[in-house]
Copies of this chain bind each other. A is one copy, B any other.
Amino acid sequence: MSTECQPLEPATPAGDSLGKESLNKESLSKERLRLWLRMLRVTRQIEAELREKLRVEFDSTLPRFDVMAALFRDSDGLKMNELSKRLRVSNGNVTGIVERLVDDGAVERIAIEGDRRATLVRLTAAGRATFTEMARAHEGWVNALLDGVTEDDAHHIGELLHGLPADTGERQ
């Protein structure tokens, strides 16, 4: 959903006693909020279009795509554990998605010798083939959706986002 709330009235109204308006903390906070709302709206919109494309053209979904993408990168397979860390979603969530991918024949579970708690999850050959097609299409869709963005823009925004607390988290 959209978080369609707009900045409320400033707590420090008209006359600002701290200095230039544009250097004001209130103003900066409002501007960041506006930015966040716009980022959210754009992201949601793009996600919706990608989801629709995946649904219509591949009878698949974004979560499935995400899981397959992670497994495609680690072609030796991942433990459920690692998968959920990689995708930053809850453990139980991954269980369900993988379950459906197994039903689809795109993914297989492999027992790990020496640890009967864990399971390895891996793309099947069919899964790899399907994902390769999906990924190619996906890149095309994104490219089209970000039509107005030049390479410089992309690079610039990327840099700005990169410094954010939200982007510097525990990845890997």
Which A residues are within 8 Å of any B CB, using their own CB? Answer: 1-8, 11, 22-23, 27-36, 38-50, 62-63, 65-67, 69-70, 72-73, 86-89, 93, 132, 135-136, 138-140, 142-151, 153-158, 160-167, 169
Question: Which B residue's beta carbon lies closest to that of A65?
Answer: B3
Bound CA–CA A135/B11 (angstroms): 12
Q: A2 touches which one: B6, B88, B163 (CB < 8 A)?
A: B88
Given known A-B contacts A44-B88, A161-B38, A149 and B32 have beta carbons under 8 A apart = yes
Contact present for B162 and A65 (CB under 8 Å): no
- Tell me how far the C-beta of A58 lies from the nearest C-beta in chain B, rounded to whole angstroms: 14
Bound CA–CA A38/B89 (angstroms): 16
